[in-house]
Amino acid sequence: MASSPLSHAPLLEVLDGRPPLRRPVWMMRQAGRYLPEYREARARAGSFLSLCYNPALAAEVTLQPLKRFDLDAAILFADILLIPQALGADLTFSEGEGPVLSTVANDKQVAALKLEGAADRLAPIYETVARVAAAKPVNVTLIGFCGAPWTVASYMIEGRGSTRERARLAALAAPSWFAALLEVITQASIDYLVAQLRAGAEAVQIFDSWAGDLPARAFSRWCIEPVRQLVAGVRAQVPDARIIGFPRAAGTNIIDFAQQAGVNAVAVDAGVSVKVMRDQLSPICAVQGNIDPLLLLAGGPALDAAVDELVQGLPRRRHVVNLGHGILPSTPIEHVSQFVARVRLRDSETRNEESGG
């Protein structure tokens, strides 16, 4: 493993509110198509979903980035749409098209979703978590995850990513079936995250990829409140659970999310400035982000400058270096190496300055 032989886990220290010995760094979608070893593993699996449900291969893929880069976390290889599939939705992934789901649009279709048996259908995911937990370095944090109720509901209503117009109309009109759908997803997600934590995950992240679709009033009702319930439900069973929330493209709503959702850290996209991260978010909770994935694709001086601004502008004890979204498949591996090395260099310099060295 490329990770340095530290006995501490920097990411856990930040999530627990303690000063880490070094600033933690990891990347969303760090196990993915930009790595040739991932592409080879996916070819062996035969399909994306087969890879997700194959614990040996999924664990291998989860650990792959640690062999190349000095990272502080491994994130479980899975997909946010495994929850609706476990509830009984039909799910396929088409090359070049993305996920396609059977849709939900009324009370009868919501009632047909099956919480019972979902744990058994997701058992391979928990085995993957256990395999990674047993194999990873002690200083590397294993992160589990799920999709936020609003984002998962959006896919279930639309049947795919698309423009999400039907989902947004449902959020604004709020028919009874829409609230019931979010309740089912929330409970399934509580069970899913608790099982991941009990299998060996040390932190979890909640991805609300379509949070930016919601205007302020709807954001509070359908983004913040379901995530708050999800966080509370997880902590009712795992009281010390460390949880990161990522309401992507939330804009100014990100402040309310950080204050009300109950998370240990809020992840932010590239649209949130370092000043807002430092002055408005870090006093509330730890903050994660926010390098633009396109900067990682570009590499060179622009990437270095963005890393410098983050590391020099945010307190180590409240910051996790990450991207503002997932790594793009065409990202050169050498740019990822540049990114991680630059974080280590600048963080080392700031530590020396703080200690008077």
Q: Are strands 203-208 and 243-247 parallel, antiparallel or unpaired?
A: parallel
Q: Please state whether the predicted TM-score (pTM) of the whole model is above 0.85.
A: yes
| pLDDT value of residue 160 | 83
The distance in angstroms from the start CA to the end CA of the chain is 30
In degrees rounded to 5, what are phi and psi of residue 345?
A: -65, -50
d(CA 246, CA 226): 13
Q: For the chain, 357 residues long, give each residue's pLDDT as a single digit of tens.
A: 443 344 489 999 999 999 999 999 999 999 999 999 999 999 999 999 999 999 999 999 999 999 999 999 999 999 999 999 999 999 998 776 789 999 999 999 999 999 999 999 999 999 999 999 999 999 999 999 999 999 999 999 999 877 889 999 999 998 899 999 999 999 999 999 999 999 999 999 999 999 999 998 899 999 999 999 999 999 999 999 999 999 999 999 999 999 999 999 999 999 999 999 999 999 999 999 999 999 999 999 999 999 999 999 999 999 999 999 999 999 999 999 999 999 999 999 887 666 544
Q: At what angle do helices 225-237 and 176-199 cross, to 10 degrees?
A: 40
d(CA 61, CA 213): 32
Contact between 9 and 320 (Cβ < 8 Å): no
d(CA 28, CA 37): 17
| pLDDT value of residue 351 | 75
What are the structural domains, with CATH classification, of the chain? 10-355 (3.20.20.210)
Active site residues: 29, 33, 42, 79, 155
Residue 156 CA to chain centroid, in angstroms? 19
Here the tokens at position 259 are: 């204050």
Task: Please work out, in degrees rounded to the nearest 5, the angle formed at the alpha carbon of residue 83 by the alpha carbons of 100 and 108.
Answer: 75
Using only C-alpha atoms, the chain has a radius of gyration, in whole angstroms, of: 19
Here the tokens at position 6 are: 């530290």
Here the tokens at position 354 are: 């703080």
Handedness of CA 42, 64, 306, 324 (dihedral sign): positive
Contact between 13 and 286 (Cβ < 8 Å): no
| pLDDT value of residue 162 | 76
d(CA 3, CA 207): 26
Q: Which residue has the tokens 């256990």?
A: 130
Contact between 308 and 346 (Cβ < 8 Å): yes
